[in-house]
Amino acid sequence: MNIPEQLRKHGLFDARVPRYTSYPPANHFRPGEGHRHQSDWLNAVPAGSEISVYIHIPFCKRLCFFCACRTQGTKTLRPVDAYVEVLRREIANVRKCLPSGVKMARLHLGGGTPTILSPATMALLLDKVFAAFAPTTDIEFSVEIDPTEAAPELLATLVDFGLNRASIGVQDFAADVQDAIGRHQSFEQTDRVIQQLRGLGVDNINLDLLYGLPHQTSDSFAATLQQVLSLCPDRLAIYGYAHVPWMSKRQVMIDAASLPDTYARFDLTKLAQQAFVSAGYDEIGIDHFALPSDGLAIAARAGRLRRNFQGYTDDTTPTLVGLGASAISRFPQGYSQNAAATSAYLDRIASSGLAGHNGYEMQPQDILTARVIEDLMCCFGFRETRLLADFPEEREAIHATGIALMRQFPDAFFIAKGGLQIREDFKPLVRVIASRVDGFLAQNSGACLGDLAERRCNKSKALRAQKGASPLGLWPHPRDIFGQMKSAGPYIAWPQDVAVGEPAAVDA
Ligand SMILES: C[S@@+](CC[C@H](N)C(=O)[O-])C[C@H]1O[C@@H](n2cnc3c(N)ncnc32)[C@H](O)[C@@H]1O
Ligand code: SF4
When mean pLDDT is compared across 181-185, 264-268, 454-458, the lowest value belongs to 454-458
Atom 8 in ligand 1: which residue has the minimum CA distance? 146
Task: Give the pLDDT score at 262.
Answer: 86
Contact 64 CB / ligand 2 (< 6 Å): yes
- Mutation test residue for ligand 2: of 71, 168, 171, the one with most atoms within 8 Å of CB: 71
Tens-digit pLDDT profile for residues 85-99: 999 999 999 999 999
CATH classification code of 364-482? 1.10.10.920
Going from the Cα of 185 to the center of ligand 1, the distance in angstroms, rounded, reads 14
Q: What CA dihedral angle connects 320, 321, 323 and 329, to 10 degrees?
A: 70
Task: Give the pLDDT score at 456.
Answer: 60
pLDDT at 507 over 50: no
Atom 23 in ligand 1: which residue has the minimum CA distance? 503
Nearest listed ligand to the Cα of residue 56? 1
pLDDT at 493 over 80: no
Give the position, in ligand 1's atom list, of the atom nearest the Cα of 110: 1
- Mean pLDDT score, 259-270: 92
Going from the Cα of 158 to the center of ligand 1, the distance in angstroms, rounded, reads 21
Q: Tell me the pairing of strands 72-73 and 103-111.
A: unpaired
Pocket of ligand 1 (CB under 6 A): 66-69, 110-111, 113, 144, 146, 169, 171, 208, 210, 239, 241-242, 501, 503
Task: Give the pLDDT score at 474.
Answer: 25
- Read off φ and ψ for residue 25, nearest 5 degrees: -60, 155
Task: Give the pLDDT score at 495.
Answer: 34
- Mutation test residue for ligand 1: of 67, 211, 310, the one with most atoms within 8 Å of CB: 67
pLDDT at 128 over 90: yes
pLDDT at 437 over 60: yes
Tens-digit pLDDT profile for residues 339-357: 999 999 999 999 999 999 9
Task: Give the pLDDT score at 18.
Answer: 87
Q: Mean pLDDT score of the chain, rounded to an integer?
A: 87
Nearest listed ligand to the Cα of residue 114? 1
Percent of the chain with pLDDT over 90: 76
The domains of the chain are located at 46-318, 364-482
Task: Give the pLDDT score at 417.
Answer: 77
Task: Give the pLDDT score at 12.
Answer: 53
Going from the Cα of 209 to the center of ligand 1, the distance in angstroms, rounded, reads 8
- Mutation test residue for ligand 1: of 210, 213, 309, the one with most atoms within 8 Å of CB: 210
Atom 4 in ligand 2: which residue has the minimum CA distance? 64
pLDDT at 79 over 80: yes
Tens-digit pLDDT profile for residues 267-299: 999 999 999 999 999 999 999 999 999 999 999
Percent of the chain with pLDDT over 70: 84
Contact 171 CB / ligand 2 (< 6 Å): no
Cα 352 to Cα 43: distance, rounded to the nearest angstrom: 16
> What CATH architecture does domain 46-318 belong to?
Alpha-Beta Horseshoe (3.80)
Contact 111 CB / ligand 2 (< 6 Å): yes
Atom 6 in ligand 2: which residue has the minimum CA distance? 67
- Mean pLDDT score, 441-460: 57
- Mean pLDDT score, 10-35: 85
Contact 328 CB / ligand 2 (< 6 Å): no
Q: In the structure, what pLDDT confidence band is assigned to residue 489 with cuts at 50, 70 and 90?
A: very low
Task: Give the pLDDT score at 30.
Answer: 97
List, in sequence order, every residue forming a beta bridge with 422; answer none if it has no partner.
413
Atom 26 in ligand 1: which residue has the minimum CA distance? 169
- Mean pLDDT score, 371-384: 96
Task: Give the pLDDT score at 479.
Answer: 30
pLDDT at 504 over 60: no
Cα 292 to Cα 157: distance, rounded to the nearest angstrom: 30
Task: Give the pLDDT score at 478.
Answer: 31
When mean pLDDT is compared across 51-65, 251-265, 455-469, the lowest value belongs to 455-469
Q: By 3-state DSSP, what share of the chain in percent is helix, strand and coil, each rounded to 5?
A: 45, 20, 35
Contact 112 CB / ligand 2 (< 6 Å): yes
pLDDT at 443 over 70: no
Sheet holding 419-422, edge to edge: 381-382, 419-422, 413-416
- Mean pLDDT score, 16-40: 94
Output the pTM of the full model: 0.89
Structural contact between residues 319 and 51, judged by C-beta atoms closer than 8 angstroms: yes
Contacts of 11 (CB under 8 A, 6+ apart): 477, 478, 479, 482
Contact 110 CB / ligand 2 (< 6 Å): no
- Mutation test residue for ligand 1: of 16, 57, 60, 69, the one with most atoms within 8 Å of CB: 69
Tens-digit pLDDT profile for residues 144-166: 999 999 999 999 999 999 999 99
- Mean pLDDT score, 353-375: 95
Q: Tell me the pairing of strands 288-290 and 282-284.
A: antiparallel
Atom 4 in ligand 1: which residue has the minimum CA distance? 169
List, in sequence order, every residue forming a beta bridge with 20; answer none if it has no partner.
none
Instruction: Please indicate whether residue 348 or residue 444 has the higher confidence score (pLDDT).
Output: 348
Going from the Cα of 60 to the center of ligand 2, the distance in angstroms, rounded, reads 6
Tens-digit pLDDT profile for residues 224-251: 999 999 999 999 999 999 999 998 999 9
